[in-house]
Structures are given as C-alpha cells and as structure tokens.
Amino acid sequence: MALKPEPTAPFHSVQYVLRVLETVSRHTGGVTDAQIARETGLPTGHLAPLLEMLRREGYIERAGDGGAYLIGDSLVLLGSGAARQQALEAKLQDTLMEIRDSVGAAVYISRYVDGEVRITQYADGPRAPRVNEYVDFRFAAHASAIGKCLLTQLDRDGRREHLARHKITRFTSRTITSETLLFSKLDSQPATVPILDLQEYAVGTVCAAVPLTAGSTVGCLALSLPIEHAHRLRSAADTLNRRAAPVVLSLVL
C-alpha cells in the first residue's frame, strides 16, 4: 500500500507534537515556551495553541503563572506494555466523548488496516446517534466521508487496488459512481479541509471526516449527523478539525 506525501497541516503533523514533548522531557527542571520555540523551530503561532492543547490533555503542565513547562501526569501515568495500551485507549475514548459533546454529533476513529476500512473506536449517545451502518463501511469507501478521507491518503495504485476489490456501487442518487470523477475529487481535496458526505452513503445522514496523520498509519476522525441537523455540518466539521490533534497524539504515544 503506497501513501501520499504527508499533509502539512500543523495539528495533523504528529512530528510537531512529538518534537515539543521531547523538548519538555529533556528539560527535567522545566522549560519556557521561548526555549521550546528555539529548540523545535516551531513558529509562535503554531506553538501557542499546541501547548494549550497539550496542557488541556494533561501531557504537560506549567509551574505557576507563566512558569516553565513540565511533563504532565497523563504522560507519566501511561506506563508501559498492556497497561499502557489500555490507558491510551481509555484516554482516547475520553477524548472522543469530549469531542462528541463539543460538536453535538457521534464521532468515530477509522483506520485503513490490511486494505480494509475499519471503525476502531466511536462515541455516540442519545443526542448524538451513531449512523445506521446498513452497508458495511468496508464496501462503501467511495461513498462515505470516512472512506473517502482514507482513500485520499493512498496513491492512485492503492485506490485502484481497493476499488478492484470493492466495486463502486450506487447507494443513493448522490453517490459518485465514476472512478474518474471520484479520483478527481480526491486529488483536489485540500489536506486541511474536512471531507463531507451529503447523503452519498445513506439518505437522511450527513458526515464529515478529517485525516489523522501518524507516520505510516492511514486514519481519520469523523462525525455523523441526521439530515435535520445538516445546517450544523460545516461548523461541526471545523470543530472536529481543530480537535484532531489530541487524537493523533493518542495514536502514536
């Protein structure tokens, strides 16, 4: 499976996050934001919100008002081995529930594993119902926001190989059934802009997805809304995009 070059969106580039954590870890007595900026080479405009996110998630903490940054409890408590994996999954689930509540929609993490679309975790609720998976997402990559977001991260050969196994099928009147048109839309999709599904997979449901770039992992963070809430889709998708960084971090720590 061949991947496209990694997008340059600051919050979806896990290297930025890891660079900051490595810098804070090296300075056991604490390190200022100015020093972090010098050692990581990150622009202040990118660094400030990233530090805020890491503090919110408990990965770093600050000693007093305007003090130095230190490694936070969340990173210390992760431990190692099986316990570490369980701790990461639990923290990721907490993050998903927070995102669900902030966007008012069911949210999902999907990965492309062994050539298949897989939902690995999700958070829904009475006010944020999960999409009715009436057709297995493995067979609907061309129609769903999740699938299209994963396909954008593959090269053309990878996409063709996938569609050779899972033929393009019309699910609704809005489903794209032309491979040429589908590839054109995927190629023109900006890496920093959420992919939308406006009733292409299922009548009565709209969705959005953003890529999760973590090394060689092909993944995405997505949401779904009933059609009566379609007017909220774009603002919810923008919020989803802004909240993707902690999810990326959980996937690679």
Q: Which residues contact 240 (CB under 8 A, 6 or more apart)?
A: 99, 103, 107, 194, 208, 210, 221, 222, 223
Q: Are 2 and 39 in contact (CB under 8 A)?
A: no
**pLDDT of amino acid 222:** 96
Q: Which H or E run includes 196?
A: strand 195-198
Q: What does the DSSP 8-state code read for residue 170?
A: -
Average of per-residue pLDDT across 69-75: 79
- pLDDT tens, position by position, 89-142: 777 888 899 999 999 999 999 999 999 999 999 999 999 999 999 999 999 999
Domains and CATH numbers, the chain: 92-246 (3.30.450.40)
Q: Which residue, 59, 108, 70, is CA-closest to 252? A: 59
77: pLDDT strictly greater than 60: no
**pLDDT of amino acid 28:** 82
Q: Which residues contact 6 (CB under 8 A, 6 or more apart)?
A: 13, 213
C-alpha 133/C-alpha 104 separation (Å) is: 19
Q: Which residue, 65, 220, 239, is CA-closest to 149? A: 220
Burial of 20 (0-12, 13-18, 19+ CB in 10 A): buried
- pLDDT tens, position by position, 35-45: 999 998 888 77
9: pLDDT strictly greater than 50: no
Residues for the chain: how many in total? 253
Per-residue buried b or exposed e for 114-150, using 16+ beta carbons within 10 Å of the residue's own CB: eebbebebbbbeeebeebeeeeebebbbbbbbbbbbb
**pLDDT of amino acid 71:** 81
250: pLDDT strictly greater than 80: no
Q: Are 222 and 211 in contact (CB under 8 A)?
A: no
Q: Which residues contact 103 (CB under 8 A, 6 or more apart)?
A: 223, 236, 239, 240, 243
Say whether 209 sits in a helix, a strand or coil.
strand
